[in-house]
Amino acid sequence: MKVVILGCGRVGATIAATMAREGHEITIIDRNPDSFRRLANDFDGKKIIGNGLSEETLQKADVEHADAFVAVTNGDNRNIMSVQLAKVRFKVPKVVARIYDPIRSSAYANMGIDTICTTCVGAGVIHDKILGKPYSAVEEYCQFGLDDKVLEAGND
């Protein structure tokens, strides 16, 4: 698979290194070249320095030929905007955005964007671990702790 990853933080670097080792063709983008130090020494993918919200950078990363685009920067809104850019402008078939804010994550999931709310997933897994409960599916964890009242906010 040809995968482009935006954001070389801990999560981005881990996905990049693992998938490269599995034989996938990986390109990783970060605006700060220092971030690439997190990549494993044997990482043989492409590294691109640039702003993931600019079409030029995504073009440089050859996003238009990617099978998947993953946005894991520290900014929820950056991730949301860049996956929409990849999806709408570059027609990438599979896009995934990591979103910390549970509400934003579920709102964009409803709009048809694949989102992972690591806040909810982390909280849910810890919750089940403490109580000794069997683990659930990621989709269920993505809803963990979400209050219906909050979800329906604005309809009052």
Partner 1 sequence: MTRKTPMYVIIVGGGKVGYHLSKALTREGHEVLIIEKDRKTAESLIGEFGETIMYGDGCEIRTMTEAGMGRANVVVAVTGDDEDNLVICQMAKSKFGVPRTIARVNDPKNEELFQQLGIDQTVSSTRIIFNLLEQQIETGQVIPLAALKKGEIEVVEADITTTSPAMGMKIGQLDLPANALIISVIRDGHAIIPHADTKLRAGDSVITMIKAEREKELRAIFTGEEQE
Residues of this chain, 17-56, that bind partner 1 according to CB under 8 A:
53-55
Min dist CB 75 to partner 1, Å, is 7
d(CA 134, CA 30): 37
Min dist CB 84 to partner 1, Å, is 6
Min dist CB 106 to partner 1, Å, is 10
The answer to whether 94 contacts partner 1 (rule: CB under 8 A) is: no
- DSSP states along 87-141: HHTS--SEEEEE-S-HHHHHHHHHTT-EEE-HHHHHHHHHHHHHHTPPP--HHHH
Binding mask 135-154 for partner 1 (x = CB under 8 A): ---------------x--xx
Cβ of 106: how many Cβ atoms within 10 Å?
Answer: 19
User: What 3-state class would DSSP assign to 61?
Assistant: coil
Binding mask 50-89 for partner 1 (x = CB under 8 A): ---xxx-------------------xxxx-xx--xx--xx
Residues found near partner 1 in the complex (CB under 8 A): 53-55, 75-78, 80-81, 84-85, 88-89, 101, 103-104, 107-108, 110-111, 150, 153-156
